[in-house]
Every structure is written in C-alpha cells, then in structure tokens.
C-alpha cells in the first residue's frame, strides 16, 4: 500500500508527503453530504472546529470531490484531518499525507462495508483512523420514529426482516445526523494529539 501511495503522489504531483509538511494551523477537511447522512448541525460543528484551532475546508459538491485531476486531490493533500459520515467521499483519504487523521462518523444501524472500505485500509496507508459512533438520539430517525421504535432501538431487526436492501434504504438513504458536540469534541481533540497540536487545546 505504501508503494501505491507513492505512485499516487507522483501521478497527481502531490506536494505533502507527511502531515508535518502541511500548514499550521492544521487544516480540517469536512465532507459535507447534501442528500443523505447530512450533518444537521454543521454550522455548530464548524464553529467548534475553528475554536479548537482548525482551519476548516468544507467540501459539499460531488462534482468538486470527483475532480481529483485538477484540484481536489491537492486540497485533500494539504489537510491534516478529514471528517465525514460513512460514504464514498471518504475514499479521498487516499490523498491525505502520511500521519493525517481520518474520522469516520458511523451512522446508526448500517455497518456493511464500513470497516473494509475505510477503517482497515487507513493504517496500511500510513493514516490514523478514528471513528465516531452516533448514539440513537443523534439520528434523525429518532425524531421520526422515537427512541423506543425498533428502527432506532433494534436496528438489526430491519435487516433481519428486509435484508440488505431494507437496511440500506433506512440507514443510508433516510438518515441524517445531529452530532453531540461535547462528545464529538473529544474525538477532535484526540485527532489534534495525533498530529502534534494537542498542547494548544488541552485547556480550552
């Protein structure tokens, strides 16, 4: 995997080999989904990220994220941390510099491919991998069905009754996320520690 990463760096003329080659303050890339698995409190998330010392880049266009030949691979390569909900946008971890941190926000209920696609390849690419598991109350499904409904309280029952297609439809296509900022802050502080900026925020 390290040889492949080196090939990618050369092919796309990426400037930053390691996270220590990037700028200070550290840059955080937020993958902002627009249709499903949206961050409902994104503005508050960004405010907190900035308070912790990040410069935040928001990627919210599928067209921009797929335009890796000209721009987006270089944007990603300039970042120390990437944050996003489970989905294809996280594949851009391939362009992060060595030592960078990818934070995957794992939605309620749907876990097919979550590890194989993102968490397992990360360390092999020289990245730090963190994940934030949302709690039922952080899912928009709790607003719709209530915390005691099987869709929220017994997510395995959806797949048991309807299979993969039913689980995908419910938890990937119909779910948005409202993160607990106090809890998510701890994940961001952990990421800062990995990239050498933890001293700046330890007492904030």
The CA radius of gyration of the chain, in Å to the nearest whole number, is: 17
Contact yes or no for 72/64 (Cβ under 8 A): yes
2-135+180-199 folds as Rossmann fold (3.40.50)
Residue whose C-alpha is closest to residue 19's, from 113, 102, 143: 102
Token representation of residue 76: 């990603």
Contact yes or no for 197/190 (Cβ under 8 A): no
Q: How many CA atoms lie within 13 A of 113 on its CB side?
A: 10
Per-residue pLDDT of the chain (204 residues; tens, 9 = 90+): 678 888 889 998 999 999 988 878 999 999 999 889 999 999 999 999 999 999 999 998 665 555 544 588 999 999 999 999 988 788 889 999 999 999 999 999 977 666 667 777 788 889 999 999 999 999 999 999 999 999 999 999 999 999 999 999 999 999 999 999 999 999 999 999 999 864 444 444
Q: Domain locations in the chain?
A: 2-135+180-199
Contact yes or no for 72/65 (Cβ under 8 A): yes
Q: What is the pLDDT of residue 70?
A: 57
Contact yes or no for 95/12 (Cβ under 8 A): yes
């Amino acid at each position: 995997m390290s040889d492949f990463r080196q090939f990618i760096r050369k092919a796309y003329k990426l400037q930053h080999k390691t996270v220590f080659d990037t700028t200070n303050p550290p840059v955080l890339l937020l993958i902002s989904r627009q249709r499903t698995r949206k961050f409902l409190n994104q503005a508050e998330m960004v405010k907190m990220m900035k308070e912790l010392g990040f410069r935040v880049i928001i990627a919210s266009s599928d067209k921009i994220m797929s335009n890796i030949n000209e721009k987006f691979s270089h944007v990603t390569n300039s970042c120390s941390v990437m944050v996003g909900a489970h989905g294809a946008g996280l594949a851009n971890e391939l362009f992060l510099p060595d030592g960078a941190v990818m934070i995957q926000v794992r939605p309620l209920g749907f876990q097919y491919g979550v590890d194989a696609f993102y968490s397992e390849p990360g360390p092999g690419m020289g990245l730090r991998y963190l994940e934030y598991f949302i709690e039922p109350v952080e899912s928009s499904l709790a607003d719709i069905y209530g915390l005691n409904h099987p869709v929220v309280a017994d997510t395995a029952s959806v797949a048991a009754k309807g299979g993969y297609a039913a689980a995908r439809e419910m938890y990937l296509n119909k779910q948005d996320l409202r993160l607990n900022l106090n809890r998510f802050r701890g994940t961001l502080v952990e990421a800062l520690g990995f990239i050498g900026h933890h001293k700046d925020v330890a007492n904030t």
